[in-house]
Amino acid sequence: MGTVIAITSGKGGTGKTSITSGVAASLAEMGRRVLCIDMDIGLRNLDISLGLNDRALMDFSDVALGRCPLARAAVEHPDLKGLSLLTSPMSLPASLTSEKIRTLLEEARTLYDYILIDSPAGLGVGFRLATREVDRAVVIATNDASSLRDAQRTVAELEHLKQIHLVMNRIQTRLLRKLRTTIDDAMDTAGLPLLGVVPEDPQVILCANLGQPLTVRGRRGAALACWNIAQRLEGRRVPIMRIR
């Protein structure tokens, strides 16, 4: 049975979508069957980050509400074998319930090794819908005080999960020095074990604008960090990247 992981954050702008796509592409390169579900309703960008812009005709609500089978709605990546996307509707249907999402995820678990959900930021209805039926969660935060405070609030809403980890994104060593803080300080503030550290990397924006998954430009910078996170999800012991 596949594992369902919510990639979430307490606020927007933390790079949640780029981490979702980078880790998903890395898992697919490892030979895993991966389904990305964009549940950031109304603000969907995961298709762009994966290089699948406008390829999806049906969305996850069509599957959950029985209008389309999962196998037809999920769009396979043309270049990365094993990687598929189930995109988001532009608005939340009133008839979409957590029970229907549970049924969708139960089917997805039988077809994929990993189901990565790009969850809405914040603590609204969309967040609760995206995180209610998952197996574990990864909270994305940056090293500013408001992001870490919001990460704390997010953790409080995920108490039903046994596994919650932190990924520190867009890290710049010079900024850490100026703030006189460390990654350990951020972990203590968020109250979470660390799954990965991702450096600030212009390749993230470049790949998104070119419609390419981050991993196609080699394993360095943010792409290497996502590869390491994917390995840790597989249970491998990989040292945390040292950002210079």
**Which whole number is the average pLDDT over 3-32?**
94
pLDDT in tens, 65-118: 999 999 999 999 999 999 999 999 988 888 999 999 999 999 999 999 999 999
Residue 116 β-bridge partners: 5, 36
pLDDT at 205 over 50: yes
CATH number of 3-232: 3.40.50.300
Query: What is the pLDDT averaged over residues 225-239?
Result: 94
What tokens were used for 104?
A: 């969708």
Q: pLDDT value at position 19?
A: 95
Instruction: Supply the pLDDT for residue 147.
Output: 86
Decide if pLDDT at 190 tops 80. Answer: no
DSSP-assigned states of every residue in 112-156: -SEEEEEPPSSSSHHHHHHHTT-SEEEEEE-SSHHHHHHHHHHHH
pLDDT in tens, 129-172: 999 999 999 999 988 888 888 888 998 999 899 999 999 999 87
Alpha-carbon distance of 139 to 152, in angstroms, equals 10
Provide CB contacts within 8 A for 63, sequence distance 6+: 69, 70, 73, 86, 104
Q: At what angle do helices 183-190 and 145-157 cross, to 10 degrees?
A: 40
Site of tokens 């520190």: 168
SS3 77: coil
Rg of the chain over all Cα atoms, to the nearest angstrom: 17
Average pLDDT over residues 60-66: 96
Exposure class string for 182-218: b at 16+ Cβ within 10 A, else e: ebeebbebbebebbbbbbbbebbeebbeeebbbbeee
> Strands (DSSP E) along 14-66, which ranges?
34-38
Residue given tokens 């840790």 in the structure block? 232
